[in-house]
């Protein structure tokens, strides 16, 4: 078991005091131009100003308007007064012995004044660095093996909060261009963060519009410029939105399959009762852009005695027949109170071998950051847990 290297305590709080100025981060280009009009930027200048501010925020990583030296002093003062470029506040940061970093983030107050918390994870590997981001606080779905699914309070994240995670990660990794230029150890690509996966808390396709806006911003060539080929959206199988996601969001697709019969999958991913396996796979076959170069990934969590038999592996091969697909076998990551156990390693190997022989690349995902509860499906914000148990206590009383 890996050991915990570093945990920064939650108290005293590390986050900044509430900043109630609305953030310009997460607005589309059109929205940004429009909002500049509201603070008096004449129509003729709006497009140019929008492009300047966009460049400062997303290319240079500016955190204040004072830095934007090519914008007139008077406009900078107005902007600083009215808007922010605020990131989520960091409550705690943990680093696993394998280098995985997890941040507990506190969001700005929502319309009810509540400050929710979410988690974000960065996983460095030899040839890449993957940031796992959340799309919701909690999740409305209740997959029985997933810790997030037990969280009671749920709301969609705004585009600002989704983009804010990527911005904050770049701050923390110190990978804005001016930082990389003076970093003798900088990787050739000029970035540590090379991939983004929407595999944190929440079901991204239940927050379609905000996820789309955020991914458009993250991939915009005049900003963070992360290609959509390097972004993967993982869904538990919201069938009616899958093809639309391919057309409108255009990232890579990962499907949380986890079961090879409707009977098993109904128990693991209850959404299957609404959108059974046959419908789900039909949508995957029709996913725009799916090809050998851009294969759909199927995620399959290995649960001891539940979905890990040779018969399951053979059924899986049959289900995927003729589809450009890869399978990601995920050893189950346990969490307090779960009834499931991870399959034994030799069982996982036999399962992977059957898939490999059938021509499906099936890497077993090495669990990362388990020692800090940062691995797949372990995310859940502490404050939510406390609140949920308090609610239960109050209900009992
Ligand atoms: N809601 C989306 C994305 C977030 S979950 C979805 O379900 O796809 C990201 C991945 O982690 C999914 O494949 C999910 O099934 C998997 N996962 C959830 N809990 C897990 C656990 N305890 N161990 C391993 N993988 C888990
Ligand atoms: Fe939600 Fe995904 Fe967890 Fe299911 S696996 S409860 S869809 S976060």
pLDDT digits (tens, 9 = 90+) for 36-53: 999 999 999 999 999 999
Beta strands at 117-124 and 155-156: parallel, antiparallel or unpaired: unpaired
Same domain, 318 and 279: yes
Cα separation of 148 and 328, whole Å? 20
Please work out whether the CB of residue 218 comes within 6 Å of at least one atom of ligand 1: no
Beta strands at 136-137 and 195-198: parallel, antiparallel or unpaired: unpaired
CA 222 to ligand 2 centroid distance, Å:
33
Same domain, 194 and 151: yes
pLDDT tens for each residue of 140-154: 999 999 988 888 778
pLDDT of residue 361: 83
pLDDT tens for each residue of 60-107: 999 999 999 999 999 999 999 999 998 999 999 999 888 999 999 999
Please work out whether the CB of residue 272 comes within 6 Å of at least one atom of ligand 2: no
Same domain, 99 and 209: yes
Cα separation of 124 and 366, whole Å? 12
pLDDT of residue 364: 83
Residue at which a domain ends, from 82, 110, 128:
82
Which residue, judged by its Cα, is nearest atom 24 of ligand 1?
Answer: 332
Please work out whether the CB of residue 203 comes within 6 Å of at least one atom of ligand 2: yes
User: CB neighbours (10 Å) of residue 290?
Assistant: 18
Q: Residue 8 domain-assigned?
A: no
Number of domains in the chain: 2
* Burial (0-12, 13-18, 19+ Cβ within 10 Å), 334: middle
Is 50 exceeded by the pLDDT of residue 15? no
Instruction: Give the domain CATH number at 33.
Output: 1.10.150.530
Least Cα distance to 141 among 305, 249, 258 occurs for: 258
Q: Residue 264 domain-assigned?
A: yes
Same domain, 35 and 128: no
Q: Residue 216 domain-assigned?
A: yes
Please work out whether the CB of residue 199 comes within 6 Å of at least one atom of ligand 1: yes
Same domain, 54 and 187: no
pLDDT of residue 386: 37
> Lowest-confidence range among 185-194, 270-279, 312-321?
185-194
CB 305 within 8 A of CB 345: no
Residue 57 structural domain: 20-82
User: What DSSP state is assigned to residue 340?
Assistant: -
CB 103 within 8 A of CB 90: yes
Is 70 exceeded by the pLDDT of residue 2? no
Same domain, 184 and 292: yes
Residues annotated catalytic, as ranges:
119, 376
* Least distant ligand from the CA of 298: 1
Least Cα distance to 137 among 210, 55, 68, 40 occurs for: 210
Same domain, 32 and 178: no
Q: What are the distances in angstroms from CA 171 to CA 13, 80, 122, 138, 326? A: 19, 20, 13, 25, 33
For 270, residues 6+ apart whose C-beta sits below 8 A from its C-beta are: 141, 142, 143, 144
102: β partners = 94, 121
For 167, residues 6+ apart whose C-beta sits below 8 A from its C-beta are: 25, 61, 87, 224
State which of 147, 150, 256 you would mutate to test the pocket of ligand 1, scoring each by most atoms of that ligand within 8 A of its C-beta: 256
Q: Which residue has the higher pLDDT, 120 or 293?
A: 120
Cα separation of 379 and 201, whole Å? 6
Same domain, 294 and 169: yes
Q: Residue 210 domain-assigned?
A: yes
pLDDT tens for each residue of 339-363: 999 999 999 999 999 999 999 987 8
């Amino acid at each position: 078991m890996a050991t915990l290297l570093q945990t920064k305590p939650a108290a005293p709080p590390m986050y900044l005091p509430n900043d109630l100025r609305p953030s310009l981060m997460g607005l589309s280009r059109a929205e940004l131009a429009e909002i500049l009009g509201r603070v008096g930027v004449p129509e003729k200048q709006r497009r140019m100003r929008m492009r300047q501010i966009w460049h400062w925020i997303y290319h240079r990583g500016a955190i204040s308007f004072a830095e934007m030296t090519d914008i007139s002093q008077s406009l900078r003062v107005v902007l600083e007064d009215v808007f922010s470029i605020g990131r989520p506040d960091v409550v705690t940061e943990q680093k696993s012995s394998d280098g995985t970093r997890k941040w507990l983030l506190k969001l700005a107050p929502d319309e009810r004044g509540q400050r929710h918390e979410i988690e974000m994870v960065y996983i460095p590997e030899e040839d890449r660095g993957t940031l796992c981001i959340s799309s919701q606080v909690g999740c409305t779905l209740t997959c029985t093996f997933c810790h997030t699914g037990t969280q009671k309070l749920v709301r969609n994240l705004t585009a600002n909060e989704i983009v804010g995670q990527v911005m904050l990660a770049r701050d923390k990794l110190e990978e804005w261009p001016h930082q990389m230029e003076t970093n003798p150890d900088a990787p050739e690509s000029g970035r540590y963060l090379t991939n983004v996966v929407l595999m944190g808390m929440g079901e991204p396709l239940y927050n379609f519009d905000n996820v789309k806006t955020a991914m458009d911003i993250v991939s915009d060539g005049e900003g963070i410029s992360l290609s959509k080929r390097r972004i993967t959206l993982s869904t538990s199988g919201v069938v009616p939105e899958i093809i639309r996601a391919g057309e409108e969001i255009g990232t890579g697709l990962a499907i949380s399959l986890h079961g090879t019969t409707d009977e098993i999958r109904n128990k693991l991913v209850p959404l299957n009762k609404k959108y059974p396996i046959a419908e789900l796979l039909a949508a995957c076959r029709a996913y725009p852009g799916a090809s050998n170069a851009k294969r759909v990934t199927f995620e399959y969590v290995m649960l001891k005695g539940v979905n890990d038999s040779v018969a399951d592996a053979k059924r899986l091969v049959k289900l995927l027949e003729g589809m450009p697909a890869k399978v990601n076998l995920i050893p189950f990551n346990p969490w307090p109170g779960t009834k499931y156990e991870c399959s034994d390693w030799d069982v996982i190997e036999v399962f992977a071998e059957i898939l490999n022989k059938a021509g499906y690349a099936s890497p077993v995902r090495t669990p990362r950051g388990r020692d800090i509860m940062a691995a797949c499906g372990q995310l859940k914000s502490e404050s939510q847990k406390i609140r949920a148990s308090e609610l239960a206590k109050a209900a009992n009383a």
